[in-house]
């Protein structure tokens, strides 16, 4: 074709080839002044993703309307690292795709969220019952969940919920060799990697070694759960991967070793602290218990006054909160009742003989914890009458799940929520109605080794417990703060042995 051209056309064609080659080379290389955040932003927003996706049509419908489902059409992607390899397939969908049966969403389906399901077509050898930390990293959000290799584990956590549309890099790192270990039945210190060791694409460098997928989420409010909740993850506080236009409050990286994925905090639009203005709160129809939080919010305008009940994690939060906002304690009358959340039912055995308990020579001995005791005896009622709190924050989990099974914790939690709902309902028509907010519990750093083989805390248990919290909270009209979701992607970066908010500012 070139030989048939005139000399002028030939020269123009050659020049065009060189120009196109130059443009592609420039796009592939970062500019001299380009920052790491800008390179990540360009990678996640501007560049084509690695996996071909298609928009499917509903075969059961005569309509030509498209179904909002994006599906990776490749049979799987081979990922290697830590001396193991796996063939993994990603199913990307959202709860409106039931007729296509592309993926099964187990547990709570957020009404406006996408679901990325992990299918291990060829699990690693000697890791067929293994577990991973799965994290999706994008400029619109960071979402994470424990993932099981074995679909028959009985727990079925094979998905990550995503609250915002966008392109996400997939970070998959092995943690546990078996479900027994993941649930704290075996010594969780055995077999855990000393540091994050992701499975990545072979022969690829930089952030491009992590698979890139696209998730599309329905608009906020386009669908609702049958129980009346509109749980939109897009409105929740979360981390986002920094882009060139974002000024981050913290010097944080998801991967601090390689300085990959700088993170910014996205506050979200949900307000957990009543300022006297009317705001939308979760509520279950036909339930006076569930609407009580709304009653507190729409009551007469008054200064926010809160009480915080919990364990050392809650205590650290309040310590830093008062340090930066002293008026809350001095002028608004905020109060922190320390260590009321060290077990909904407290295990007294370690207090009687710690070494004997850790050595497995003593059985657990559970007694009713301070929150249940004070709810039943009326002490909290007296505190409410005296201080007229507008919000009660409460949490308990780490001490509970250190010593108990997931099923036991769920039963204890249901009892605690039921008692708090009854307590709140007694004041719903009074001059001092109040809201109740579950502070949540953070992820576990695995750095606190004092419990040895008696340590039953794992992030798999905590993640499953956190999902159970949402179910129970809906039943009793309790708001939930996503403490676990905020800390799990960064659980290896605790500011001390196991806390994530410390007074020295980390």
pLDDT per position as a tens digit, 192-219: 666 788 999 988 888 999 999 888 887 6
Q: Which residues pair with 138 in a beta bridge?
A: 141
Residue with the bigger pLDDT between 400 and 220: it is 400
pLDDT band at 83 (very low <50, low <70, confident <90, very high): confident
- pLDDT band of residue 287 (cuts 50, 70, 90) is very low
Confidence band of 463 (pLDDT split at 50, 70, 90): very high
Q: Is the pLDDT of residue 347 over 70?
A: yes
Is the pLDDT assigned to residue 344 strictly greater than 90? yes
Whole-number pLDDT of residue 53: 34
Find out whether 222 and 112 touch, Cβ atoms under 8 Å.
yes
The pLDDT of 369-391, averaged and rounded, is: 95
Q: How many CA atoms lie within 13 A of 393 on its CB side?
A: 26
Rounded Cα distance between 49 and 170, Å, is 12
Report pLDDT for 186: 64
The answer, yes or no, to whether residue 324 has pLDDT greater than 80, is yes
Task: Give me the pLDDT at residue 198, please.
Answer: 93
pLDDT digits (tens, 9 = 90+) for 26-46: 544 444 444 444 444 444 443
Strand pairing partners for 79?
86
- The number of C-alpha atoms within 13 Å of 345 and in the hemisphere containing its C-beta is 16
Query: In this model, does residue 401 exceed pLDDT 70?
Result: yes
| Helices of type H across 389-448 | 398-403, 406-425
Higher pLDDT: 271 or 197? It is: 197
- In this prediction, residues 412-418 reach a mean pLDDT of 96
Number of CB atoms found within 10 A of residue 189's CB: 13
Q: Is 396 within 8 Å of 371 (Cβ atoms)? A: yes
- The candidate with the shortest Cα–Cα distance to 143, out of 113, 120, 121, 101, is 113
Confidence label for 419 from pLDDT (cuts 50, 70 and 90):
very high
Q: What is the pLDDT of residue 269?
A: 65
Identify the residue with better confidence: 111 or 302.
Answer: 302
C-alpha distances out from residue 102 to 56, 98, 99, 115, Å = 11, 8, 8, 11
In this model, does residue 268 exceed pLDDT 60? yes
List b or e across 108-145, with b for residues whose CB sees 16 or more CB atoms inside 10 angstroms.
bbbbbbbbbbbebeebbeebebbbbbbbbbbbbbbbbb
pLDDT band at 270 (very low <50, low <70, confident <90, very high): low
Whether the per-residue pLDDT at 68 is higher than 80: the answer is no
Task: Calculate the average pLDDT of the chain.
Answer: 75
pLDDT at 191: 58
* Interval 416-420 mean pLDDT: 97
CB atoms within 10 A of CB 151: 14
Question: Which residues partner with 72 through β-bridges?
Answer: 53
Q: Which residue has the higher pLDDT, 171 or 153?
A: 171
Of 101-115, 177-191, 440-454, least confident by mean pLDDT is 101-115
The pLDDT assigned to 128 comes to 84
Q: Which long-range contacts (CB under 8 A, 24 or more apart) does 278-282 make?
A: 280/230, 281/435, 281/479, 282/228, 282/229, 282/230, 282/231, 282/473, 282/474, 282/477, 282/479
User: Tens of pLDDT along 93-147?
Assistant: 755 543 222 222 222 223 346 788 888 888 888 788 889 999 999 999 999 999 9
Residue 190 pLDDT grade (very low, low, confident, very high; cuts 50, 70, 90): low
């Amino acid at each position: 074709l070139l030989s048939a051209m005139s000399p002028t056309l030939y020269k123009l064609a050659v020049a065009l080839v060189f120009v196109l080659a130059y443009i592609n080379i420039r796009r592939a290389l970062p500019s001299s002044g380009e920052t790491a955040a800008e390179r990540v932003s360009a990678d996640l927003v501007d560049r084509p993703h690695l996996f071909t996706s298609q928009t499917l049509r509903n075969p059961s419908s005569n309509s030509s309307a498209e179904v909002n489902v994006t599906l990776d059409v490749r049979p799987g992607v081979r990922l290697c690292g830590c001396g193991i390899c796996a063939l993994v397939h990603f199913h990307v969908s959202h709860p409106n795709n039931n007729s296509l049966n592309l993926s099964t969403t187990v547990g709570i389906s957020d009404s406006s969220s996408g679901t990325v399901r992990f299918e291990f077509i060829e699990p690693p050898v000697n890791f067929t019952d293994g577990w991973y930390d799965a994290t999706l990293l994008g400029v619109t959000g960071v979402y994470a969940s424990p993932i099981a290799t074995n679909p028959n584990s009985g727990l079925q956590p094979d998905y990550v919920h995503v609250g915002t549309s966008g392109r996400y890099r997939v970070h998959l790192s092995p943690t546990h060799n078996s479900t027994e270990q993941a649930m704290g039945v075996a010594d969780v210190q055995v077999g855990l990697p000393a540091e994050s060791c992701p499975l990545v694409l072979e022969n690829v460098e930089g952030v491009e070694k992590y698979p890139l997928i696209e998730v599309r989420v329905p608009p906020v409010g386009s669908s609702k759960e049958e129980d009346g909740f509109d749980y939109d993850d897009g409105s929740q506080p979360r981390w986002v991967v920094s882009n060139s236009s974002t000024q981050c409050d913290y010097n944080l990286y998801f991967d601090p070793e390689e300085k990959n994925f700088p993170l910014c905090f996205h506050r979200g639009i949900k307000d957990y602290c009543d300022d006297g203005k009317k705001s939308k709160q979760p509520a279950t129809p036909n339930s006076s218990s569930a609407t009580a939080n709304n009653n507190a919010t729409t009551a007469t305008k008054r200064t926010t006054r809160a009480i915080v009940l919990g364990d050392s994690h809650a205590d650290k939060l309040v310590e830093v909160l008062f340090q930066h906002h002293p008026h809350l304690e001095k002028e608004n009358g905020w109060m922190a009742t320390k260590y009321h959340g060290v077990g909904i039912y407290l295990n007294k055995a370690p207090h009687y003989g710690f070494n004997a308990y850790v050595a497995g020579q003593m059985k657990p001995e559970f007694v009713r914890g301070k929150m249940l005791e004070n709810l039943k005896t009326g002490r909290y009622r007296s505190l409410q009458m005296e201080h007229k709190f507008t919000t009660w924050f409460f949490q308990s989990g780490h001490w509970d799940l250190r010593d108990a099974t997931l099923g036991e914790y769920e039963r204890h939690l249901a009892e605690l929520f039921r008692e708090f709902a009854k307590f709140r309902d007694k004041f719903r028509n009074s001059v001092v109605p109040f809201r109740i907010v579950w502070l949540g519990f953070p992820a576990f750093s695995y750095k606190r080794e004092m419990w040895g083989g008696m340590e039953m805390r794992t992030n798999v248990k905590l993640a499953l417990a956190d999902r159970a919290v949402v179910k129970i909270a809906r039943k009793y009209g309790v708001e939930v703060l996503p403490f676990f979701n905020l800390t799990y992607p960064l659980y290896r970066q605790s500011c001390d042995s196991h806390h994530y908010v410390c007074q020295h500012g980390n």
